[in-house]
Structure 1
Amino acid sequence: MTYFAYLDEFGHIGPYVSREDPKYHQSPVFGLAGLVLSSKRVREFGTWFFKRKCQLLQWEIDRDGKHPAQWEKKGSSLYTVRNVRKYPELRRFTNRLFNQINEISGFVFYVGMRKTEPLDAHRPDKGPSILNY
């Protein structure tokens, strides 16, 4: 069987010192998350997701004047603590999304690393030290 994986990074790849540091304060973690679907179910899922996206975010799509297929919203601006608390439709959409993935025998995964190395050990050209074995 052939599978399709959609991956996206979360956090920030650069170094982290603290939230108070003037330069290195973006994120104490970096990782990847995604979903895996059977290639036979990708088109069905894509259609389902596109319809839900258009319903949930119609006001913003219309305001921006782009075709819905070309319009994108960053997850980090959609899934804020404020938005999750304020908009029950976002919580419902998220539950429906996970249920749909499960219904078509897909799965969601994530892996993240807490940044603990000293600033002078940050070497983005070499990748995370966990991978250098």
Structure 2
Amino acid sequence: MFFAVNSVVTNNFTDENMINKIKTLWQDAQAKLADNTGCIYAIYHHYQNDYRGDYTLSIAVDHPVKHFSTTIEPNPIDSYAVFQVNDDHEDKIYQTWQHIWALEQDNKIIRAYDIDFEKYYPDGRVEIYISLLT
């Protein structure tokens, strides 16, 4: 279960303000989570359809925090493909997402579009979890 700090609805391809929305979302979350020493999650959910449609992005933690009452609960039967983010690229997160989208277009993965998330570890590592149809 995740505890959302804040959320925004956006679209990677049609929202002209997507980059600013996401930057503001992260800045707000970092200010609210200044004392957090655990992992931080970027949760992708409420997909309109596939990766080309609207979705909700929430910044969250995996433990209850005062004033963060919105919870996001992954489906317990979902299985996930985990992608390690290669940290030798400047746009490492975006590069990994492009790889995921290419795998989907090539039918090498079939996404569930339930709840996907990026897991940011305190040591700087990042993993992307993609929910798959089983």
TM bin (shorter chain) = under 0.3
With structure 2 as the length reference, what TM-score do the two structures score? 0.26
Larger Rg: 1
